[in-house]
Amino acid sequence: MYPKQINLIEVGPRDGFQSESRIIPTDMKLEIIAGLAAAGISQIQVASFVSPKRVPQMADAEALIQKLPENDSVVYTGLALNPKGVERAQEAGLKAVEISISASDSHSRKNAGMSRRESLQQGRNMARLAKQKGMHLIAGIQCAFGCVYDGSIPAGNVLDAVRMYCDEGIDRLSLADTTGMAAPLLVKELVGKVKAEAPGILLGLHLHDTRGLGLVNLMAGLESGIRCFDTAFGGLGGCPFVKGAAGNIATEDSLYLLESLHMESGIDRRKVAECSRKIAGFLQRRLPGKLYASGL
């Protein structure tokens, strides 16, 4: 029923850090990223290229990338929300970029300062620019499963973005549960519709645990044929522009679940937990993840 191998993409150094009010020093970020790579994680999202006034934690994006350890077995990515962000990612030296737009009009206006319809054209512009620059292109759709501002999101909003992205030749598509409103039946329903619209696309899920259904939704994704999942060490994360947004599904907890299903990821859960304990000590608080502090 389940595949032998699964791909977990670590987003903690970007999605996890961006909401923290205490600025994490660049050297500590580098130490954490190196630790995650040493744990066997093959793709790490290290920064976002956004306004430092809006997201101060990402102000060191370029400096961080210049100091990243060279590792042929790891792909470093960054997040961009506009063409300028794509340019910054490429100029900083990244070979892969994730672009993202929202399926929610209200969230799009809060997060990107434009309507959902306007963001479709911006997404097209970002995709074309990234391809022109020869970058590996991941495309995200935020609030795909619902929005705290707009409520339920019509599947048509999501499929509009899917069609636009597929026209531009993206390398992978990610459906994001930005405000944590996904539930198993909704996950299966929307994944089915996206697969029917774009049967050849490599599809992943970016799940949050706001309402405690993160790992249940991961299971629903597995049962729907998803093989790529974004996770964050220690369960860090949340959107700075969404009230009450909670963290991503924890990398360690996800690994424990996958191991119980006899699925392989090539990732050492205990080494990931070391990174979580280190950042928890710096932040002086317990992280949302369950297993990192247990010693299991």
Q: How far apart are CA 104 and CA 15, in angstroms?
A: 19
- The one-letter code for the residue type at 247 is G
Q: How far apart are CA 49 and CA 27, in angstroms?
A: 18
Q: How far apart are CA 115 and CA 111, in angstroms?
A: 10
Tokens 């860090």 belong to residue: 236
Structural tokens at position 296: 């299991």
Is 239 annotated as catalytic?
Answer: yes
CB contact at 8 A, 75 and 210: no
Q: Which of 143, 147, 228, 239 is catalytic?
A: 239
Query: Helix, strand, coil % (nearest 5) of the chain?
Result: 45, 20, 40
Question: 130 vs 15, 70, 79, 154, 274, CA distance in Å?
Answer: 21, 22, 12, 28, 35
The alpha-helical segments, DSSP class H, found in 198-292 are 214-223, 251-260, 269-283
Tokens 């054209």 belong to residue: 121
Length of the chain equals 296
SS3 of residue 174 by DSSP: strand
> Which residues are known catalytic residues?
239
